[in-house]
Structure 1
């Protein structure tokens, strides 16, 4: 059904009523999620989460659910609602994994304080999963879904850059008109049309081992050379452009302080806003790699993984305008925003699918043991996306 055949007031009324009725169930389900350890790679926890999600998806009449198993990660869920003669296809994306470890959910259990709920993974990104599912269910029951194929993709490896899930995305991208991603909302309830990408880099230095007391000068310290390399990368930061090298894990000196280290490595991350920034990072590391500080050492700098940026473009902005219009119908002026964090919306946009992100519940302190969400935003975001569906 096309937009001009629906009364916006009726769309809003159906969305508000359905979202208000759904919130209690959404909160009960989020409590169940909060009790499950499901960090990336925890297949047992992932299986428990998938079982709950499947039950929620089956509330949608005619849904077809497919599981794609990925060894070492778990199950990616693809669920499809397809009318007899669809006029296009939309993708709804969120992830099932978290950054936490076994035992963390018991140590930091779910609890509420007024309108704030605390729990690991509840807003990044389980809340978004429930918003997407219930918005579709609500508008199906109201007979206000667009005449489009709707495909849910819930992958289980986003927190490590979606190394396996992209293959699942690739099977569904052909024919997709738009992608809605349900990472949590944030400052001023903004809708994201741009995200930074990220490069994961390894700096590896090879030196020469020597006794630090007997023949120190014969050694070539890989550890000292690594420190030099990290400083050089830091000196190449472009804070205005946002290219900033962030050294994280450092390794070296395996033989202790009595030996000049012959091997050292570091893991370095750098955020990028566009493809040109990726090219700039490649140029920097190629140059720094050759800038030897200690003669006789050798450095290799390699990019292990690139998470592509989501660049602001006309198609993303046009899709944002649809969400913005839905917000105005609900009395909310939702700003267009960009994020310094990477996410799966970036991949859809990179592959040419118009995308927007941050359609999930409102977040506080994600990736920390104080992760929390504004409970009332469940209803707000479910109503918002229900209206989006009603005006497509």
Structure 2
């Protein structure tokens, strides 16, 4: 059997394959655009001989794609490759952040988070199939459309599918030191709305009660609740249509992250305590999606990390493993006690910004890691 680490991975070939992925913009809230990305990936998976299913989207969001790779034990649980194909970048971002290579850096919206990692792991499967190397366990691929907004429409799908498998690989971007994530903090999102009293902003200003002003007072109050172990960030703010009208409605969204579930639960209580109908402006706070804490050091995950570290040593780099902030769909699988290795995708910086980029030489590095993981993770 050929050593998976010796497969002919080629950087230029991978960049050529990645280009249409990045140039197919797929912001979460644009279901049609996300589905064009799903079309592209569905075709590539079918071309590999996989049995591909298109799972219709719901809640106004895009579809999911599930593919079962060819294997003598097809139908049995094995390895789940779990990734998302939605991005935070709106249509038109390519004009400001075009797909381009400059030396060892390649830029593009969604390239780091997380189309690059998804592509690399598919390329590993492509090369294994071409070389006639069968993975130790059957591999299933699941790509979803809504991770960037907390996975409201596909959490149940992810959890149900993951329970069928022994190992879950999540090729989110690698940590800054190139390491993997073996646990994640808990996350909650909140929707806020203030409702005031409209009036003309000039001759009847005193008759109005500004929803914007009331929400603005809450920003510092909410963000000042942040501690070393729990954070609050107001990241969305929508209000007003006419400058000559006192605003009657203001909407906002808050993200909270905590190192433990207990701390998150306390944070949820603190946010819900902001609900108020006293005074002239009403404040309404409701919790939306939540990612449960994924406790680190679970035996199955640590065994996976050990295998990954051994492979990394053979490739020529060190792979650390630790619990981390941020959220991913690994929160769901890890919190279920399933062996999950997260952030094993490409190296890069600037995710969610107009400087999002990857280190080009990490493409081959991570493809080799992926190929060896697919072969060494055993029943």
* 1:326 to 2:311 alignment: yes
In the alignment, is the contact (CA less than 8 A) between 1:185 and 1:191 conserved in 2?
Answer: yes
**1:53 aligned residue:** 41
Distance 1:106 1:115 in 2: 21
SS at match of 1:101: coil
Q: Count matched residues.
A: 374
Contact 2:146/2:152 (<8 A) preserved: yes
Which residue of structure 1 aligns with residue 78 of structure 2? Answer: 89
> Which residue of structure 2 lines up, in the alignment, with residue 14 of structure 1?
3
Matches within 5 A, 1:265-284: 265-284=251-270
- CA contact 2:163–2:338 (8 Å) conserved in 1: no
Structure 2 runs not aligned, ≥5 long: none
Q: What CA distance in whole angstroms lies between the structure 1 residues aligned with 2:39 and 2:33? A: 10
Task: Give a deviation string over 1:18-77, Cα, whole Å, max 9, x none.
Answer: 1x434333211112223222222434433443343234324545x211111215433311
In 2, Cα distance between the equivalents of 1:70 and 1:321? 37
Q: CA 1:332–1:107 in 2, change beyond 3 Å: closer, same or farther?
A: closer
Distance in structure 1 (CA, Å) of the matches to 2:107 and 2:21: 12
Instruction: Report Cα offsets for 1:199-232 as digits up to 9, x if no partner.
Output: 2212323445567788877765544443343333
| Aligned pair partner of 1:227 in 198, 216, 221 | 216
Does the 8 Å contact 1:83/1:147 carry over to 2? Answer: no
Change (3 A) 1:110 1:84: closer
CA–CA distance in structure 1, aligned partners of residues 204 and 62 of structure 2: 52
Equivalent residue, structure 1, for 2:286: 302
1:6 matched residue in structure 2: none
- For residues 201 and 23 of structure 2, the distance between their equivalents in structure 1, rounded to whole angstroms, comes to 51
TM superposition shift of 1:144: 4.7
What SS does the corresponding residue of 2:192 show, helix, strand or coil? strand
- Backbone CA RMSD of aligned residues: 2.9
Matches within 5 A, 1:164-183: 164-183=153-172
Task: Report if the CA contact (8 A) 1:78-1:154 is conserved.
Answer: yes
- Aligned equivalents of 2:47 and 2:365: distance in 1? 20
Find the residue that maps to 1:311 and give its secondary structure.
coil
Name the CA shift for 1:232/1:363 in 2 (closer, same or farther; >3 Å): same
Q: 1:289 to 1:57 in 2, by over 3 A?
A: same
Task: Give me the whole-angstrom Cα distance separating, in 1, the residues matched to 2:171 and 2:313.
Answer: 19
Distance 2:38 2:241 in 1: 42
Deviations 1:131-174 (A, max 9, x none): 21122233345555444221101112222222222233134123
**Which deviates more, 360-369 or 77-86?**
77-86
Aligned-residue offset at 1:321:
1.8
2: distance between equivalents of 1:97 and 1:265?
A: 24
| Counterpart for residue 327 of structure 2 | 342
Is 321-330 or 213-222 further displaced after alignment?
213-222
Please say which of residues 359-368 and 294-303 is displaced more in the overlay.
Answer: 294-303
**Gap change, CA 1:22 and 1:54, over 3 Å in 2:** farther
Q: Within the alignment, does 1:98 sit opposite 2:82 as a pair?
A: no
- The residue number in structure 1 matching 2:66 is 78
Instruction: Flag the 1:216–1:194 CA change in 2: closer, same or farther, 3 A.
Output: same
How has the CA–CA distance of structure 1 residues 144 and 274 changed in structure 2, closer, same or farther, with 3 Å as cutoff? farther
Deviations 1:238-285 (A, max 9, x none): 2x21x22212333456665675x5544432222223321221112212
Q: Which residue of 2 aligns with 1:4?
A: none
Residue segments in structure 1 that go unaligned for 5+ positions in a row: 1-9
Q: Is the 8 A contact 1:67 1:78 kept in 2?
A: yes
Task: Confirm whether residue 112 of structure 1 aligns to residue 101 of structure 2.
Answer: yes
d(CA) in 1 for partners of 2:211 and 2:37?
45
Q: Deviations over 1:312-340 (max 9, x none)?
A: 24133332222112212323221113332
Where 2:63 maps in the other structure, the secondary structure is strand
**Alpha-carbon distance in structure 2 between the residues aligned to 1:44 and 1:263:** 30
Matched with 1:200 is: 189
Equivalent-residue separation in structure 2 for 1:217 and 1:55 (angstroms): 61
TM-score (structure 1 length as normaliser): 0.84
